[in-house]
């Protein structure tokens, strides 16, 4: 309402100004003396001029209105197309006037055009990156139209795709670099140069130009596997050459200066090293044929050593006839080589058994020493009774001398025990101060060991036996008698005990192959009660007489300190 009033006031003022101007012109014309007809004519000119001016102004404003309408229509069309391309909802025009509507539409068109250009530029950049990565990785490009405007979701998926391709490129590049280094290292060890075009591309070309396709990575792995296989084979061959060389060096007693000449080839396994080792083996083989007598004697000595280690009987040793053949030849030497290889393998297959028998021998030797002590005491007592005077050793009675020796041994053991306890207490103090704890495995009683109660029962049983069984020492002809005829309780119970390291019984084939040899391990057993084989491999002699209680105590202490389940029994050998 106020605007309308102002408009009416302005229109009235315009009419008043026009009337005032016409009146002023009329006065001027009258004062000048212009005739009436000319004054009317001039007034008509003024009217026409004002009218033309107003008409011109109207035309201009009409033109402005048309331009605004045209712009509005154009902007609406552009907005409609941009909304479709950008996948946005249609624009809702809420302007009150035509001028404001045109302004709003024009601004929205500019904003959407800018958004479209940004999306297209982002699409172009992502497409270029995708193409480069796909060319490098030999993959298919991302599926998206390059001519249409992408949506924000499509651009986000494209970004994620590029990120995954970049990560895959880094992973494959790192894998390629690692494989390349390993391939170059293997080729260097094999003294091999790149031969195929693929190998040259891998070794010689720039890392950035190598195509990181999955097929190429797989081919690299295959190439590396082939090189490593050849390298392993070379190492195996060189190892066999070195073993043969060491063996021939010892047999032929090659001087150290000749050995030093080949020393540089005794560690590496390259092609030149293998050739040098092969030449050395050939030279030594020729030298071996020239010195066949010395070599045969050396290998026979080695065979004798393994016979002793395997506790072969005389019959078993006599079974290898070439050992006693004096007609030396290359064929005879080959038979000796085959025999030493067989013996070494046989010893390795049954190493635990043979080591156990050796430990039993040591225990048996200690047992005989105590038997000797008992015998000496009896002989000395008889001598003193006959001579009616004391038999002295180092100025004192023999019994006192033995007692002092045992006391010294006990004191030494006590001192060692105190040192261990002192060391343990110091370690405990350190643990309490610094909070460190050293955990050791919990001690447990060895299988086959007897408790004091069982020992007393076994001693009592052994003292009431009536029949005798004999066993011959493996290192002498001494025959020991034991007053028992049945296996001890501990030996019967041991059949059901499962040890952590040996939960299964020995293979039947192994028992059959060792059956003959096991009899010779003990030097022959007469009248022995059969006892089932135990998987514990404990070599023991049961029912020791109570007069050897000190021996049992010291032996048990020694066994505990070494953590080896060795118990002397007088009749039963358990394998």
445-492: pLDDT as tens digits: 444 444 444 443 334 333 333 333 333 333 333 333 333 333 443 333
> Is there a contact between 259 and 249 (Cβ–Cβ < 8 Å)?
yes
CA-nearest of 319, 314, 355, 309 to 339 is 319
From CA 217, how far away is CA 175, in angstroms rounded? 8
Read off the pLDDT band of 359 (50, 70, 90).
confident
> Is there a contact between 324 and 516 (Cβ–Cβ < 8 Å)?
no
DSSP single-letter state for residue 388: T
pLDDT (average), residues 233-246: 90
pLDDT (average), residues 18-33: 91
In sequence order, the β-bridge partners of residue 567 are: 540
Per-residue pLDDT at 439 exceeds 60 = no
Per-residue pLDDT at 434 exceeds 70 = no
Per-residue pLDDT at 236 exceeds 80 = yes
Residues 268/269/270/272 CA torsion (nearest 10 deg): 90
pLDDT, residue 551, reads 52
Question: What tens digit of pLDDT does each residue of 42-67 get?
Answer: 999 999 999 999 999 999 999 999 99
From CA 524, how far away is CA 474, in angstroms rounded? 8
From CA 408, how far away is CA 402, in angstroms rounded? 10
Q: Work out the percent of the chain whose per-residue pLDDT is above 90.
A: 18
- On the 0-12 / 13-18 / 19+ scale of CB atoms within 10 A, 336 is buried
Residues 6 or more apart in contact with residue 455 via CB below 8 angstroms: 552
Residue 359 CA, chain-centre distance (Å), reads 38
| C-alpha to C-alpha distances, 19 to 14, 27, 39, 535, nearest whole angstrom | 9, 12, 15, 140
Q: State the alpha helices, DSSP H only, in 86-196.
A: 98-137, 152-189
Whole-number mean pLDDT of the chain? Answer: 75
Question: What tens digit of pLDDT does each residue of 405-417 get?
Answer: 888 888 988 898 8
pLDDT (average), residues 147-163: 88
pLDDT, residue 527, reads 36
> Is there a contact between 176 and 214 (Cβ–Cβ < 8 Å)?
no
pLDDT, residue 557, reads 53
Using DSSP, how many helices (H) and how many strands (E) does the chain show? 17, 5
pLDDT, residue 191, reads 80
Owner of token pair 């919990």: 442
Strands 469-472 and 479-482: what pairing?
antiparallel
């Amino acid at each position: 309402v106020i605007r309308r009033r102002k408009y009416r006031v302005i229109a009235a003022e315009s009419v008043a100004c026009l009337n005032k101007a016409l009146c002023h012109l009329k006065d001027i014309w009258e004062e000048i003396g212009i005739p009436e007809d000319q004054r009317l004519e001039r007034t008509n000119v003024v009217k026409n001029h004002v009218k033309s001016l107003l008409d011109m102004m109207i035309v201009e404003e009409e033109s402005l209105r048309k331009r605004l309408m045209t712009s509005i229509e154009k902007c609406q069309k552009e907005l409609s197309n941009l909304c479709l391309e950008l996948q946005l909802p249609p624009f809702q025009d809420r302007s009150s006037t035509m001028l404001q509507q045109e302004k709003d539409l024009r601004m929205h068109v500019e904003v959407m055009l800018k958004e479209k250009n940004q999306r297209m530029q982002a699409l172009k950049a992502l497409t270029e990156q995708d193409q480069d990565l796909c060319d490098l990785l030999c993959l298919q490009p991302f599926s998206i139209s390059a001519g249409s405007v992408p949506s924000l979701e499509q651009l986000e998926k494209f970004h994620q795709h590029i990120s995954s391709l970049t990560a895959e490129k880094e992973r494959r590049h790192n894998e390629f670099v690692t494989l390349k280094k390993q391939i170059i290292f293997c080729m260097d060890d094999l003294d091999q140069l790149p031969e195929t075009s693929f190998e040259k591309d891998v070794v010689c070309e720039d890392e950035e130009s190598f195509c990181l396709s999955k097929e190429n990575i797989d081919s690299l792995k295959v190439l590396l596997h082939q090189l490593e296989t050849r390298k392993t084979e070379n190492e195996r061959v060189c190892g066999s050459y070195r073993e043969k060389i060491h063996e021939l060096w010892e047999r032929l007693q090659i001087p150290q200066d000749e050995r030093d000449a080949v020393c540089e080839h005794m560690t590496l396994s390259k092609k030149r090293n293998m050739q040098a080792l092969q030449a050395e083996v050939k030279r030594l083989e020729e030298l071996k044929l020239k010195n066949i007598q010395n070599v045969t004697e050396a290998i026979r000595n080695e065979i004798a050593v393994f016979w002793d280690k395997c506790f072969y009987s005389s019959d078993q040793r006599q079974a290898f006839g070439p050992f006693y053949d004096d007609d030396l030849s290359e064929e005879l030497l080959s038979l000796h080589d085959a025999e030493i290889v067989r013996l070494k393998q046989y010893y390795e297959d049954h190493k635990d058994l043979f080591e156990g028998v050796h430990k039993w021998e040591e225990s048996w030797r200690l047992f005989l020493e105590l038997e000797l002590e008992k015998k000496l005491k009896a002989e000395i007592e008889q001598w003193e009774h006959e001579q009616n005077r004391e038999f002295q050793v180092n100025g004192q009675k023999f019994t006192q001398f033995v007692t002092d020796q045992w006391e010294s041994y006990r004191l030494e053991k006590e001192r060692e025990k105190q040192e261990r306890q002192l060391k343990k207490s110091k370690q405990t103090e350190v643990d309490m101060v610094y909070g460190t704890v050293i955990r050791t495995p919990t001690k447990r009683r060895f299988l086959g060991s007897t408790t004091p109660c069982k020992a007393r029962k076994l001693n009592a049983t052994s003292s009431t036996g009536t029949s005798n069984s004999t066993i011959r020492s493996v290192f002498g002809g001494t025959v020991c008698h034991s007053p028992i005829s049945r296996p001890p309780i501990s030996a019967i119970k041991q059949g059901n005990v499962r040890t952590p390291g040996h939960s299964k019984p020995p293979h039947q084939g192994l028992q059959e192959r060792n059956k003959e040899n096991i009899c010779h391990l003990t030097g022959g057993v007469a009248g022995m009660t059969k006892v089932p084989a135990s998987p514990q491999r404990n070599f023991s002699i049961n029912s020791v007489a109570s007069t050897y209680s000190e021996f049992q105590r010291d032996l048990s202490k020694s066994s505990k300190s070494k953590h080896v389940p060795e118990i002397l029994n007088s009749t039963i050998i358990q394998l």
